[in-house]
Amino acid sequence: MLIKVPKASDCHESDVTPESLYLSRRHVLGAAVAGLAISGLSRWAAADNVERYAGVEPGKAPSWFSEKFPSIEWGAVNVKDEAITPFKDATHYNNFYEFGTDKGDPAANARALKTQPWTVVVDGEVGKPGRYALEDFMKPYQLEERIYRLRCVEAWSMVIPWIGFPLSALLKEVEPTSSAKFIRFETLQDPKSMPGQRSGFALIDWPYIEGLRLDEAMNPLSILAVGMYGRELPNQNGAPLRLVVPWKYGFKSIKSIVRISLVSEQPKTTWQSIASDEYGFYANVNPTVDHPRWTQARERRLPSGLLKPNVRETQMFNGYADEVASLYAGLDLRKNY
């Protein structure tokens, strides 16, 4: 059984008063009222939370998510003076090649993905390997809302309110051995529900693989997300479990995770295997290192239109330099891109 690990202590205070306070008050009135609130969480996103996140579609939250919902720490990490991307943009403009190569394909095709039941394997250089049903995997962890910038390598960006917990909490629990230097993540491989895996898009050798250095994974900003916009993750956004590493390009934040392995050697990641000159292992957001085919100095913040393009300067480490720059002291970021 996993043991609860305290969350990182260096979170910033939220500038936004959480609407969840009113919901939480109803939960303390009595068990009957609490039961009603939990059973109606899929409707909450479209009702009680409508003022905070307009346009949120009600979901079908699993029971473990519903049970944890009343204790979520809202606004645990926020961004200053930046508007949150509309829910429709964040859920209908996605890269998730398992469901197709067009931005709208994931929303159109991900309905067939079955996220219940779901199993996560933790293995490799750990003292406590195991295969966990997701509801058991999630039991120890306090969920937090973390509002992060998301910067795609394609030079578009969003601001998304995720719900998750620090990756460091999991790593402390599974006890990496002294040989563990990297963490390797693996996405579900299921061609029946993922049409992109059975298509002619032969560049990708499924399953999708990503990785981090162990110290990157232990950084307080790295989280495993299970929700967004006050509800569980939609399928097209990586349900039921995904990585979020906000100072790196979006393709590093692997979706629909089924395996987490601690390893001694740097794993060969999917896009690094396809085009190592374009997509390096580190993939840190760096406006001074251009992609071979476009500049990374600027980005298009969604929503954005042809007549009124929402273009802005890209920040080093996506604006998280104070928290992560020390990880790369002495490392040539032009070679280690």
Identify the pLDDT of residue 51: 55
10-residue mean pLDDT series, the chain (337 residues) = 40 42 36 37 44 85 96 95 96 97 97 97 98 97 98 98 98 97 98 91 87 98 98 98 98 98 98 95 98 97 91 98 98 96
Count Cα neighbours of 330 within 13 Å in the Cβ-side half-sphere.
Answer: 0
pTM of the full structure:
0.86
For residue 319, is it left (φ>0), alpha (ψ between -120 and 50) or beta?
left
What is the C-alpha end-to-end distance of the chain, expressed in Å? Answer: 38
Count Cα neighbours of 110 within 13 Å in the Cβ-side half-sphere.
Answer: 29
Identify the pLDDT of residue 118: 98
Identify the pLDDT of residue 202: 62
Long-range contacts made by residues 131-135, C-beta under 8 angstroms, separation at least 24?
A: 132/2, 134/62, 134/64, 134/240, 134/241, 135/62, 135/63, 135/64
Would you call 328 helix, strand, or coil by DSSP? helix
Identify the pLDDT of residue 327: 98
Strands (E) in the chain, as ranges, are 73-77, 119-124, 130-133, 144-151, 156-166, 182-187, 209-213, 223-228, 231-232, 242-244, 257-263, 298-301, 311-313
Identify the pLDDT of residue 308: 85
C-alpha distances (whole Å) from 64 to each of 69, 117, 226, 245 are: 9, 12, 11, 24
Identify the pLDDT of residue 305: 87
The β-bridge relationship of strands 257-263 and 119-124 is parallel
- Chain centroid to CA 122: 18
Identify the pLDDT of residue 134: 98
Q: Which two tokens stand for residue 337?
A: 């891109």
CATH of domain 71-328: 3.90.420.10
- Whether the bond into 70 is cis, omega within 30 of 0: no
b/e for 33-67, b at 16 or more Cβ within 10 A?
eeeebbeebbebbbebbeebbeebeebebbebbbe
Would you say 244 and 225 are in contact if contact means Cβ atoms under 8 Å apart?
Answer: yes
- Whether the bond into 207 is cis, omega within 30 of 0: yes
The β-bridge relationship of strands 223-228 and 231-232 is antiparallel
Domains of the chain by residue range: 71-328
Distance (Å, whole) CA 216 – CA 324: 8
